[in-house]
Structure 1
Amino acid sequence: MTAAEWPTGERGPVRQPTVWHIDLTLDEAGQRTCLAALSDDERARAARFLRLEDRDRYAASHAALRRILASALGTNPALLRFRLGPSGKPELDAPWRDRLEFNLSHSGSVGLIGLSPAARIGVDVEWMRPLPDCLSLARSHFARPEIAALEALPSAERQAAFYACWTRKEAFVKALGSGLSFPLDGFVVAVPPEPPALVSIGGSTGAASAWSLQHLDLGAGHVGAVAIESAGAACLFRSLGADWASRPA
């Protein structure tokens, strides 16, 4: 399923893992609406971006996060409060603490929001800018089986496979909430043309089998992935639609 085919419209309570696709390219009215939807702290952080484009996309992605979480929790987006977990991963604060797992990623014009009622979830999206040195980057950060798989590919296929591998790894690390404390070469994911999967964690295939990885075809030069701490997890895919910022929350 490509992003253009994802059903649109907000839903109620989250009963299974769900990934939302967000179009972050908004007109001036939409940008103002998103900024107004943020907390004072979020607006202050947005103001620190040097590039206007980065500020607008930060505001849009976080306004969308508030909108989607509020719909799932049955509350007003402005009332939501957040805290940092033990490893620095954002979490919902009281009175919604432990009600819902979520994760946010944005790159270029695309945002992804993952929600899960219980299992940990992580999402990652990357805009695929040209990377002639992708093999060098892989050798610096990836696990040996991943490097070998990329080296074996024809050069014309290598960049797309690198980005697919990168997003799968980032989605898993984001689901853990461990940040940089969990090294990217400490676990192995499948590299295209192999289907997405977590192969091993610290050399253990048993630990990896408790997770699901899915590839996301996002179009417009973007690629993404979702990691869910549930074997064989079924995941819903939805989109807010291009006019989301102009609709009442």
Structure 2
Amino acid sequence: MHPDEAHVWQLDPTRVAGREPTEAAAALLSPEERARPAAHRDPRAGHTFLVARGLLRCALSELVPEVAPAVWSFTRGPYGRPQIATPRCHTSVRFNVSHTRDQVVCVVVRDADCGIDVEPAGRTVDVPLLAGDVPAPAEAAVLAAAAPEHRSEVFLRHWTLKEAYAKALGVGMRLPFAGLVFGPPTTGAPRLDPAAHPEGADWQFAQWVTARGPAGQGWVVSLALSRPGGRELRIVRHDRWPTCPPSPSRGTWVYRCDRAANVVNRTRIPNSSAVNVRSPLTVGVRRRIRLVSRWSTPAFEDQETPLGGAPGQRKSAAWSRAHSV
């Protein structure tokens, strides 16, 4: 995964339909994720959630092919933003997901905060009701000047930009939207008003409206990216399902994470009920790993010993994972 690229996937969840594709996507999820669709009263919303989580896992594994989709595990930040928990040497990979009833978007980037939001371009919005909470005064003037038939879409352009930025910051709806001022529309990319937000120079924004189909429906998509080192990121857009990493014909992939080098070394070993793997970052240490079924999170016993210490005294920075194929 190139550090100067941000990859965005945008898909219609109804394209992942039928029993076999749905079960294949569900097989990649954690037990907690698989239970979530059943909590939705609307089966279509539950299906969209399932597709969104499967898309995220496969997108991560396309860009980090040494990690299988089901191996990723996630945690939440202080304000609830999802982030990678393991593999720990890939926690610098950031992602964000948004979905509506008929559209799923996902962004993946390395070493940069990111947020994405999507809304139907044809959605009817009660603009007067929300005018005091979302647009800044200058933006409210732009809304008032818009033709009535375009006012909802103009509002959604402002809303999705602010939503994406709030998600990138990791604070969600705690950010006062009316205090955010985006500069006047230009031929270039959206930007925070530099007079009101000097920190806007550290951020990159993009926005597009997908082509409307036969039904006249399109989607407004907004993207917010921090600029690591002040550099501009190249946005790569995909309208396909991510390519999952290939599986070996025989044997087991063993993943060894070198946190110092920020890489995962992948090695194939013969199938067996258990193997001993020497950790790359410790001396005279062995760990016993139990192999489990393909695409499931591996279970293992961490018995690493620091040099001069007792077994189980502490966990090493190195870790190994394996899954049967």
Greater CA radius of gyration, 1 or 2?
2
> 1:108 corresponds to which residue?
101
Work out whether 1:240 is the aligned partner of 2:247: no
Quick one: which of 10, 28, 51 aligns to 1:21?
Answer: 10
Q: Does 1:144 align with 2:133?
A: no
Which residue of 63, 66, 79 corresponds with 1:72? Answer: 63
Aligned to 1:225: 222
- Which structure's residues are more often helix, by fraction? 1
Percent of aligned pairs with the same residue? 26
SS of equivalent residue, structure 1 residue 240:
coil
Give 1:86's aligned residue: 78
Bigger drift between 38-47 and 22-31 goes to 22-31
Asked if structure 2 preserves the Cα contact closer than 8 Å seen for 1:135 and 1:150, the reply is no
* Aligned counterpart, 1:63: 54
For 1:6, the equivalent position in structure 2 comes to none
Secondary structure of the structure 2 residue equivalent to 1:189:
coil
Match of 2:45 in 1: 54
C-alpha contact 2:73 2:84 (8 A) present in aligned 1: yes
The worse-fitting range, judged by mean Cα deviation, of 182-191 and 209-218 is 182-191
Runs of 4+ off more than 3 Å: 190-196
Aligned-partner Cα distance in 2 for 1:113–1:21: 7
Partners of 2:44 and 2:101 within 8 A in 1: no
RMSD: 2.6
Shift of 1:117: 1.0
CA change 1:35–1:159 in 2 (3 A) is same
CA contact (8 A) 2:59 2:108 kept: no
CA shift for structure 1 position 151: 0.9
Alpha-carbon separation, structure 2, partners of 1:69 and 1:130: 31
- Cα–Cα, structure 1 residues 156 and 101, in superposed 2: closer, same or farther, change >3 Å? same
- Inter-partner Cα distance in structure 1 for 2:186 and 2:103: 24
Asked if residue 168 in structure 1 is aligned to residue 158 in structure 2, the reply is no
2: CA distance between counterparts of 1:36 and 1:191? 46
Local SS of the residue matching 1:37: coil
Which structure ranks higher in relative contact order (CA pairs < 8 Å, sequence separation ≥ 6)? Answer: 1
Distance in 1 (CA, whole Å) between partners of 2:158 and 2:145 is: 14
CA positional deviation for 1:131: 1.8
* Cα distance in 1 for residues equivalent to 2:38 and 2:183: 39
- Cα–Cα, structure 1 residues 62 and 167, in superposed 2: closer, same or farther, change >3 Å? same
TM-score, length basis structure 1: 0.84
Who is 1:180 aligned against? Answer: 173
TM superposition shift of 1:186:
2.2
Supply the AA of the counterpart residue of 1:51: D
